[in-house]
Amino acid sequence: MHRILTASLLLTLVGCVTTMPQTRGEFKSLASNHPTWYIADRYLSNRSFEDVVKNLDKKWQDCYSASKTTTRTSGGMTTSSYRDTYHPKTKKINNSLVEMTIQMTTEGMIMLDKTPPGGYYQAALDIKRSSGGKAALTWYSGNGWKKEWEKNKQWADGKKTSCEK
């Protein structure tokens, strides 16, 4: 009986470990197939592909390259502290496609699931060259990033929206 319980527990833990998307493609698929919890949306900017990529790359580095420390206290004593660091990345696939990705790493906390290389996926943005000199954006993220998606559309259009808005 002890072996059955141990085997059941291990299978449950293995199931938990494999639930987080391990690649950008898996993250995009998860967002596309679960609209209740994720955003998978498109937007067409009237600005050129080059201008949109240049502006968004700068904004991502300025706004999303950040760390946040969370400290929990009880009875005036620190009980735990961990640090989340966000890593924005821009990758030119070809002359008509740029992939932007934000991943997050956590220090000071034991993570029960398997952390993807580079950290947990927070947002992905595909920028494609579109006809008429425009740029087509496709955004993928959890619903908690909805305001960020709105900012990215404004940045794509060249508006001077701040990081904090």
Show me where the domains of the chain are located: 23-156
In the block, tokens 């924005």 appear at 88
Hey, what are 1's tokens?
A: 């009986």
| pLDDT on residue 155 | 98
Q: Give the tens place of pLDDT for each residue, 15-32.
A: 444 479 999 999 999 999
Spatial neighbors of 164 by CB under 8 A, at least 6 apart, are: none
CATH topology for the 23-156 domain: Alpha-D-Glucose-1,6-Bisphosphate; Chain A, domain 4 (3.30.530)
Q: Is the pLDDT of residue 164 over 90?
A: no
- Segment holding 127, helix H or strand E: strand 120-130
pLDDT score recorded for residue 165: 55
pLDDT greater than 90 at residue 75: no
pTM here is: 0.84
Token pair 């993220």 in the structure block, residue: 141
Place of tokens 């998307």: 21
Rounded to whole angstroms, the Cα distance separating 31 from 35 reads 7
- Section 39-65 average pLDDT: 97
What is the spatial distance between Cα 113 and Cα 129, in angstroms, rounded to a whole number?
37
Per the CB < 8 A criterion, the answer to whether 97 and 129 are in contact is yes
Per-residue pLDDT tens over the stretch 85-117? 999 999 999 999 999 999 999 998 888 889 899
Retrieve residue 98's tokens: 């740029």
